[in-house]
Amino acid sequence: MWTLSGFADEISPDLNEQCEVAVSLGLTHVEVRSAWDVNILDLSPAQLTTMQKTLFSYGLKVSSIGSPIGKIFIGDAFAPHLERMKHAAEVAHRLEAPYIRIFSFFRRPGTDPAAHRDEVIDRMRALVRVAEDADLILVHENEKDIYGDVPARCLDLIRSVGSPYLRLAWDPANFVQVGVRPYTDGYAMLRPHIEYIQIKDALAGTGTVVPAGQGDAEVAATVRALRHDGFDGFFSLEPHLALGHTTGGFSGPELFRTAWRAFTDLLKTEGIEYA
């Protein structure tokens, strides 16, 4: 039984509307990235308390903290970011989230990823030490233009850090947008390290994000392989079907429902049960 979740702020900036739509779709979990147009790591203690109480009142649990950790340029000051990682761990514990999404640092245009490898690995090890101390799992998302944007460098990160507290969040649309065929080029290589699935699709020709199964992200093939491999974890809807905002991608209530229907229809076609 696979568990569906979703980036709640893709629905609305308003926390209550986020929860109402999520519950109406039968979701039991959400991924928290922002509320009231404020990033999850910038919420005040009072706002976090309100979030806790609101999620509880709707019967929702948190699958992951959708943090921006690692979304700075390689070479930017790291010490403040490491403190932010410690705060992310505190937020995760407060919201009882088992995972924190992270990234592996943006590269300046035209720079060679290999030139930054050692710095990236050192920084990732420092982030993971925080996770180890907090007993939380970091899931690295293959975002565009970061060090770990293609399968080979994602694998390099995991192997080089060498900790069970660093795993992969598989984002097929992001792979498409950097010229990778996700299932064909990356699945076999990365499957042993995949812990968390983010659901969005994209067209190879333009990079345009589309509902799951309507693009070139090989979502159906990946879903079949995950079932065959016995994957048992979260599938987090991150539709990005409308214009983005300052805290991340956005869809709105109706397009979020469209994304949910597209993915659940795909699961039904494949005969896969979900909750």
**133-170 confidence digits (pLDDT tens):** 999 999 999 999 999 999 999 999 999 999 999 999 99
Q: Is residue 214 part of a domain?
A: yes
Asked if 189 and 183 touch (Cβ cutoff 8 Å), the reply is no
Higher pLDDT among residues 246 and 15, named by residue: 15
Q: Decide: residue 218, CB within 10 A, 0-12 exposed, 13-18 middle, 19+ buried.
A: buried
Q: Would the pLDDT of 18 be above 90?
A: yes
Q: Is residue 274 part of a domain?
A: no
Q: Is residue 25 part of a domain?
A: yes
Q: Is residue 275 part of a domain?
A: no
Name the domain count of the chain: 1
Q: Is residue 94 part of a domain?
A: yes
Neighbour tally for 200: CB within 10 Å: 28
247 Cβ contact partners less than 8 Å away, ≥ 6 residues apart: 9, 33, 34, 37, 38, 39
Q: Is residue 230 part of a domain?
A: yes
Task: State the chain's maximal CA–CA distance in angstroms.
Answer: 49
pLDDT band at 249 (very low <50, low <70, confident <90, very high): confident
Distance from C-alpha of 275 to C-alpha of 243, rounded to nearest angstrom: 29
Q: Would the pLDDT of 244 be above 70?
A: no
pLDDT on residue 246? 57
| CATH number, domain with residue 35 | 3.20.20.150
Q: Is residue 107 part of a domain?
A: yes
Q: Is residue 12 part of a domain?
A: yes
Asked if 60 and 27 touch (Cβ cutoff 8 Å), the reply is yes
Range of the domain at 121: 3-269
Q: What is the mean pLDDT of residues 198-213?
A: 97
- Bridge partners of 250? 242
- C-alpha distances (whole Å) from 267 to each of 221, 226, 249 are 11, 12, 24
